[in-house]
Amino acid sequence: MSNGYIPSFSSTPSANQPSSSMSYMPNINLDHVNNVSVQNLGINDLQIQDLMGNPHIRKLVDDSQDITRRLAASTDARSKLLDKVELLQEQCSKQQQMIVELQNRTHTNVPAPNPSVQVPLPSPLPASAPPPTPAPPTPAPPASNANCVIPGKREFRPATRPAGIPRSVLWNLEDCAKEGAVGEANKSRPSMNKCIRDVEGNPIPSSVYGAITGTAKMLITEILSKLPVPSDPSAQETSKLKTYYKKYYPKEYREVVLQLDDSHELLRLCAPHWKADHVVQSVLTAMANPKKGPEASEQQSAKRGRTEDSEEVASTQATVAGGAIH
Which tens digit of pLDDT belongs to each residue from 233-283?
A: 888 888 899 999 999 999 999 999 999 999 999 999 999 899 999 999 999
Average pLDDT over residues 86-106: 83
Tell whether 112 is covered by a domain.
no
pLDDT the model gives residue 298: 42
Q: Are residues 178 and 313 in the same domain?
A: yes
Tell whether 147 is covered by a domain.
no
Tell whether 187 is covered by a domain.
yes
Q: Are residues 308 and 217 in the same domain?
A: yes
Domain boundary among 74, 105, 136: 105
Q: Is the pLDDT of residue 219 over 70?
A: yes
pLDDT the model gives residue 96: 84
pLDDT the model gives residue 150: 79
Q: Are residues 79 and 171 in the same domain?
A: no
CA dist 108 → 83, 147, 200, 298, 325 (Å): 38, 18, 12, 33, 18
pLDDT the model gives residue 324: 41
Q: Are residues 182 and 303 in the same domain?
A: yes
Give the pLDDT band of residue 311 (cuts 50, 70, 90).
very low
> Phi, psi at residue 197, to the nearest 5°?
-120, 165
Tell whether 96 is covered by a domain.
yes
Instruction: Identify which has the larger pLDDT, 187 or 95.
Output: 95
Tell me the whole-structure pTM to 2 decimals: 0.48
pLDDT in tens, 27-69: 555 455 455 455 566 777 777 877 888 888 888 888 999 999 9
Which percentage of the chain shows pLDDT scores above 70?
61
Q: Are residues 89 and 226 in the same domain?
A: no
> Phi, psi at residue 203, to the nearest 5°?
-60, 145
Domain boundary among 87, 105, 123: 105
C-alpha angle 212-216-217 in degrees, rounded to nearest 5 = 115
Spacing of C-alpha 237 from chain mean position: 34
Q: Are residues 212 and 303 in the same domain?
A: yes
Average pLDDT over residues 212-229: 94
pLDDT in tens, 113-171: 555 545 455 555 455 555 555 545 544 444 444 456 777 777 788 888 888 888 999 99
Tell whether 76 is covered by a domain.
yes
Say how far apart CA 284 and CA 83 lie, in whole Å. 40
Instruction: Identify which has the larger pLDDT, 173 or 321.
Output: 173
Tell whether 224 is covered by a domain.
yes
Q: Are residues 313 and 177 in the same domain?
A: yes
Tell whether 176 is covered by a domain.
yes
Q: Are residues 92 and 191 in the same domain?
A: no
Tell whether 151 is covered by a domain.
no
Domain boundary among 105, 129, 147: 105
Domain enclosing residue 232, as ranges: 167-322
What is the total count of domains within the chain? 2
Q: Are residues 180 and 286 in the same domain?
A: yes
Q: Are residues 207 and 295 in the same domain?
A: yes
Say how far apart CA 210 and CA 224 lie, in whole Å. 20
Q: Is the pLDDT of residue 20 over 70?
A: no
Average pLDDT over residues 75-84: 90
Which percentage of the chain shows pLDDT scores above 90?
29
pLDDT the model gives residue 128: 53
Average pLDDT for the chain: 74
